[in-house]
Amino acid sequence: MRIVIAEDAILLRAGLVRLLTEAGEDVVAAVGDATSLVAAVEQHRPDLAIVDVRMPPDLTDDGLRAAISIRGLWPDVGILVFSQYVEERYAAELLAGSVDGIGYLLKDRVADVSQFVAAARRVADGGTALDPEVVSQLMARTAKQDPIERLSPREREVLSLMAEGFSNQAIADQLVISTGAVEKHIANIFMKLDLPPTEHGNRRVLAVLHWMNQ
Partner 1 sequence: MGSAGTRCDTPDTLPTTTDDRARRPHEVGLSPPIGRQQASYRRSTTPLSVEPVINDLLSPWRTNRLPRAIGLLATDLVLPWIPFALTIALVATSLGLAVTYPLATPFIGLLFVVAAAFGKLERSRVHAHTGADIGDPGHPRTTGSWWHRIRTLLASKSRWKEVAYFLTTPIWATALGVFTFCLWGASIFLVTLPVVAGRFPSGSAELGLFNVGPGLSAFAAGALGLVCLVVVAPWCTLGFAAARREVAAALLGPGQDEALRRRVRSLETSRSAAVDAAEKERRRIERDLHDGAQQRLVALAMDLGRAKERFETDPDGARQIIESAHDEAKAALSELRDLVRGIHPAILADRGLDAALSAVVARCPVPISLHVAVADRPPAAVESAAYFVVTEALMNAVRHADAGRVRIDIARHGDRLVLEVHDDGRGGADPSRGTGLRGLEERVAALGGWMQVLSPAGGPTSVLVELPCGS
Positions that interact with partner 1 (CB under 8 A): 54, 60-61, 64-65, 68-69, 72, 84-85, 87-90, 92-93, 95-97, 106-108, 111, 136-138, 140-141, 143, 145, 209-210, 213-214
Say if CB 209 and CB 99 are below 8 A apart.
Answer: yes
Say if CB 32 and CB 13 are below 8 A apart.
Answer: yes
The amino acid at residue 206 is L
How many other CB atoms sit within 10 Å of the CB of residue 6?
28
Smallest gap from residue 83 Cβ to partner 1 (A): 9
**Closer to partner 1 by Cβ: residue 85 or 191:** 85
Smallest gap from residue 182 Cβ to partner 1 (A): 26
Smallest gap from residue 94 Cβ to partner 1 (A): 9
Helices (H), 23-167: 34-44, 62-73, 88-94, 113-124, 132-141, 145-150, 153-164
Smallest gap from residue 207 Cβ to partner 1 (A): 13
Smallest gap from residue 162 Cβ to partner 1 (A): 17
- C-alpha–C-alpha distance, residues 81 and 130, integer Å: 10
**Closer to partner 1 by Cβ: residue 182 or 207:** 207
**Closer to partner 1 by Cβ: residue 29 or 193:** 193
**Closer to partner 1 by Cβ: residue 145 or 152:** 145
How do strand 128-130 and strand 102-106 relate by DSSP bridges? parallel
Tell me the three state secondary structure of residue 52: strand
**Closer to partner 1 by Cβ: residue 84 or 178:** 84
